Copies of this chain bind each other. A is one copy, B any other.
Amino acid sequence: MPRPLIIDSDVGVDDVTAILLASTHSDYSAHASAEALQLEAITVVDGNVSLPAAYQCAKTVMAVADVPESHVQVVAGAEGPLIPGLFKKVLWEGHGTDGLGGFTSRADEWNAFCQSHIPNHIPESLPENSTNRAAIELVTRAAANPGTLTLLALGPLTNVALAISLDKNFLKNLKSLVIMGGSIDARGNSSRVSEFNFHCDPEAAHIVFHAAGLLEECNVTLIPWETTLDHALPWTFVDYLLGRVDGGESAPSKLGAFLGGYVKFAEDAGRPLYEKASQEAARHEQYHTQLNGFLMCDIYAAVCVIDPSCILDSKKLHVHIELGGQYSRGMLAIDWNGWSGAKPNCNIVFKLDTDKIKGIFEKTFK
């Protein structure tokens, strides 16, 4: 039996990339091996974009990837953090309001793309009074075959936390939970010290890591913001993927063209800064400017699921999520030296195999 996978996602541009990597590396054929991946559902959560936008974006991505609903169900989840009213999100423009970097709003480009690649596509909106089904879906699927399901969490952990609230055995029923989120060196991308996913819903993150600390054997892997920063890909790799060869462009693949469309805003905004910054030397410039190249954070968690041998260095540690404070809400407080005596509640990934990651991209987009 292949490895079943659910992606819980707030469906921004990096989520889209991660979803495409996972779905193109899935094998739904009858003779799929035990090692084969099978993305079987996407549970959607508010975060990079609103819940309705995230839902519609996930549906569009599945249409582009030509994955039928019988293979991958899209399920709507939470419309905001567990505890409402505490946090005013500032959204990164790079996601657009469509989760596709504004691709669907650039009418000419989008229509041209659709006509070439998904001519019969009709956008699917989330029904207005739909309830939050994600947590119930997660609980049900995890309990159906305990110990087999992998959950890849790429957004605020609201849905995952609700699943734990509904079933104290939820986490134990998973084979593995792989999370993109959190800052380990107090280098934030949402507040000064907090990473976006955890900053959006710190209580949800707390519920997840609290539950992880109660497991006999911890099955939670964390890819933190700083690790993604350290592994940004060069923009020239994007040139290669998109067929921007010397003296002209070779036509990219369908998914390549899609990628080119939804990362356009990010590239236009970030690449000039990156090229300026990458020539500077000092630690605080290189490390702190966060202009490290083509950075699709969520894909670093996806590759750990697609090919666990991508992980070159990691350590099991105990983390707390800061829930209070004037500046630190959502930050990780890590027991680096084990002084607290608390059992590790996650495996933090520090180093990844960039060559393997490039290979995974090539298979999907080239």
Interface residues of A (CB under 8 A from B): 78-79, 82-86, 129, 131-132, 135-136, 139, 143, 162, 165-169, 183-187, 191-193, 203, 206-207, 210-211, 282-284, 288-290, 313, 315, 320, 322-329, 331-337, 339-340, 350-351
Q: Are B328 and A165 neighbours in the complex by a CB distance under 8 Å?
A: no
Contacts of A210 in B (CB 8 A): 84-85
Q: Which A-B residue pairs are the 7 nearest by beta carbons?
A: A325-B325, A186-B186, A327-B333, A328-B328, A288-B336, A192-B333, A131-B167
Contacts of A325 in B (CB 8 A): 322-326, 328-329
- How far, in Å, is A144 (CB) from chain B's closest CB? 13
Contacts of A290 in B (CB 8 A): 337
Q: How far is the CA of A85 from the CA of B203 in the complex (A)?
A: 11
Q: How far is the CA of A169 from the CA of B165 in the complex (A)?
A: 20
Contacts of A86 in B (CB 8 A): 323
Q: Are A186 and B331 neighbours in the complex by a CB distance under 8 Å?
A: yes
Residue of B whose beta carbon sits closest to that of A331: B328
Q: Knowing A185-B186, A283-B313, A284-B350 touch, does A193 contact B162 (C-beta < 8 A)?
A: no
Q: Are A186 and B192 neighbours in the complex by a CB distance under 8 Å?
A: no
Chain A binding site: helix, strand, loop or mixed by DSSP?
loop
Q: List 20 A-B contacts (CB under 8 A).
A: A82-B165, A82-B203, A83-B203, A83-B206, A83-B323, A86-B323, A129-B169, A131-B139, A131-B166, A136-B166, A185-B185, A192-B340, A284-B315, A284-B350, A322-B326, A322-B328, A325-B325, A325-B326, A327-B333, A328-B331
Q: How far is the CA of A174 from the CA of B103 in the complex (A)?
A: 42
Q: Are B186 and A132 neighbours in the complex by a CB distance under 8 Å?
A: no
Contacts of A162 in B (CB 8 A): 162, 165-166
Q: How far is the CA of A355 from the CA of B337 in the complex (A)?
A: 30
Q: How far is the CA of A332 from the CA of B210 in the complex (A)?
A: 25
> Most chain-B CB neighbours within 10 Å: which of A131, A165, A203?
A165
Residue of B whose beta carbon sits closest to that of A321: B327
Q: How far is the CA of A254 from the CA of B348 in the complex (A)?
A: 49
Q: How far is the CA of A289 from the CA of B193 in the complex (A)?
A: 22
Q: How far is the CA of A168 from the CA of B132 in the complex (A)?
A: 8
A337 partner, pick from B131, B184, B193, B288, beta carbons under 8 A: B288
Q: How far is the CA of A207 from the CA of B339 in the complex (A)?
A: 30
Q: How far is the CA of A79 from the CA of B135 in the complex (A)?
A: 17
Q: How far is the CA of A313 from the CA of B350 in the complex (A)?
A: 26
- How far, in Å, is A51 (CB) from chain B's closest CB? 10
Q: How far is the CA of A313 from the CA of B340 in the complex (A)?
A: 34
Q: How far is the CA of A83 from the CA of B96 in the complex (A)?
A: 32
- How far, in Å, is A318 (CB) from chain B's closest CB? 9
Residue of B whose beta carbon sits closest to that of A136: B136
Q: Are A333 and B328 neighbours in the complex by a CB distance under 8 Å?
A: yes
